[in-house]
Each structure stands twice: as C-alpha cells, then as structure tokens.
Amino acid sequence: MKERCFGPIRFIPGENRGKYPFCHSLYIDGAGILIDPASDRNRLKRLYDESGVREVWLSHWHEDHFMHLDLFEEVPLLISEQDAPQLSALDLFLDGYGIEKENHRQVWRDIIIKQFHFRPRNPARFLKGGQQIRLKDLTIDIIHTPGHTPGHLCFFFKEPGVLFLGDYDLTAFGPWYGDRDSSIQETISSIKRLKEIPATIWLTCHETGIFEKDPGDLWDQYLAVIDYREHRLLDFLNQPRTMTDIVDAWIVYQRPREPKEFYALTEEMIMQKHLDLLVSNSTVVKEGESYVRTD
C-alpha cells in the first residue's frame, strides 16, 4: 500500500496492510496532528523528524493503535475521557480487557510492554463527541461511536469529505466488541450512524483502509457478522456447553491462535457478550456452569 493524500489528510499505511497488530495512521498536514500511531515505526520517526508532530490523537485505547506512541512522549496526547484510564497504568489497561487470572495477566503484561511499547500516559486534554475543531483550512467533527470501546471516536474531515471510521473497519472479520465494557448494541448503533454521514472518502484503521466509493453493501455485510456469530453459537448450544467448550469452538476467530492466552480471552469476552443477550431474552439458559438454548 502507498501513502495517499486527501486534501491535508495523509493516509499512512500500516505494516502488513494494517492487519493486527498494526493499523493505518492519519496525519494532518500543516496542523501536525498524528492519529493512531501504530502504522510503521520507521515511517513515523521520519514524519516526526521531517514534518513535526504537534499532537497525537487516539481513536481509542487499544494496543494496536498506540504501539508507537512511545516515540512521542513529549507530544500532547488527546483521547476521549472514557478511554483515557486504560492508558494511565498497565494494571488498568489489563482490567479494561477483563483479564483476571494472574498467569494470563503476566502473559499480557509481557506482550503489551515488549511488543506494544506501553508506557503510562495521561492526556493533555480530552476529545469529545459533538465537538467541532476548526483548523486553518479544515473543519473536524468529533463523533462519539461507542461499542468497540466506550469512548471510541471517529473523525469527519468536512472540506475533503473524509470520514475516518477507526476500528469500524468494514473487514470480513466483522466488528470487534471483546473488552470488558464493549457493547454489541452500541456497536450496531454506531455503525448505523456512521453509514448516514455524507462522506465521499472513507478511511479505516485496518486492511483495505481506503474506500473511494460508497461502501454500500459492505456496511450490511459487516453488521451481518454479528448475527452469524450468534447463529453459530445457538447451533453449538443444542446441548449444554461450558464456556471452555464455547471458547474451544473458535466461533469468532475460526481457529486457535497463539498466544492462546491472548486470543482465547477475547474469544471468551465476545461470546460472553452474545450469551448475556441470549440469556436476557430467554433464548439461552444457564444451568450450573453450562449454557443451552431453550428451544
């Protein structure tokens, strides 16, 4: 992938097409604003040296969006208030994913420090949904899009008509709602809201990254993954299944991935979100340590 400019918005592709653990970054020329610094470490170093970075914005708190934030320790950081606590301390970060077992926490500690260069940070100030930021030749609407995280933000750059979707990335994998405070219902609402914004260019953090035509049916296909996961789960619950059974079915990730402590936890968290909804509408019941559908 190549860098592209849309007015003052520079799209900086991540390594491996922005697939996890990388993501695509944005840079606002003139203003020196870098968004989600986890694309390419060497490229971001050159950007800092050659063009300057005056502020770093994060769409949300996840590690694949701050991986190279350590390069910009002296640069003011902006993020939503809801997502700021997880960046302030490693234990709060682990809490945000709902990691409870100490052996799992230690695996994650090592990964987040060594691979993602975690260093505690506090924001200089907060970005808020509904806020409009006016730069010299650019107007930015800050859009609060909870679901992926409680404070996930998207950005609409009005003059070039560019909508940055963050981690609502329209990939075949589908939406991700696997941390402690993620929400399936809010994810659906946020995606539907983003679909209605009158953009002409859509940018995302992962994989394809640039959509120069209306994504069209991709919006519906992306949302349909949520229903697909639910239907697969219900099929699997034709007999009582423990959470261990459910995780080992790999409904979300399709196959086991390493490190297992990392992926099994998020598989469990996403499945738990579905189970909570299914139990609440009496489609599934919990019997002891097992879940089973009611029909």
What mean pLDDT comes out for the span 96-121?
A: 94
Note the CATH number of domain 4-215: 3.60.15.10
Q: What is the per-residue pLDDT across 145-190, written as a single tens digit (0 to 9) for each?
A: 999 999 999 999 999 999 999 999 999 999 999 999 999 999 999 9
User: CA–CA distance from 122 to each of 53, 89, 119, 231, 283 (Å)?
Assistant: 18, 9, 10, 41, 43
- CATH 3.60.15.10 domain range(s) in the chain: 4-215
Q: What is the per-residue pLDDT across 218-276, written as a single tens digit (0 to 9) for each?
A: 999 999 999 999 999 999 999 999 999 999 999 999 999 888 878 899 999 999 999 99
Per DSSP bridges, beta strands 33-35 and 55-57 are parallel
Q: What is the per-residue pLDDT across 199-219, written as a single tens digit (0 to 9) for each?
A: 999 999 999 999 999 999 999
φ, ψ dihedrals at 102, nearest 5°? -65, -35
3-state secondary structure of 190: helix
* Cβ proximity of 15 and 64 under 8 Å: no
**pTM value surpassing 0.85:** yes
pLDDT of residue 104: 87
Question: Tokens for 14?
Answer: 């991540």
Question: Tokens for 204?
Answer: 């995302």
- CATH 1.10.10 domain range(s) in the chain: 226-293
Considering the domain delimited by 226-293, tell me its CATH architecture.
Answer: Orthogonal Bundle (1.10)
Side chain identity at residue 197, one-letter code: I
What mean pLDDT comes out for the span 107-135?
A: 97
pLDDT of residue 262: 81
CB atoms within 10 A of CB 225: 16
| Alpha helices (runs of H) in 144-183, residue ranges in sequence order | none
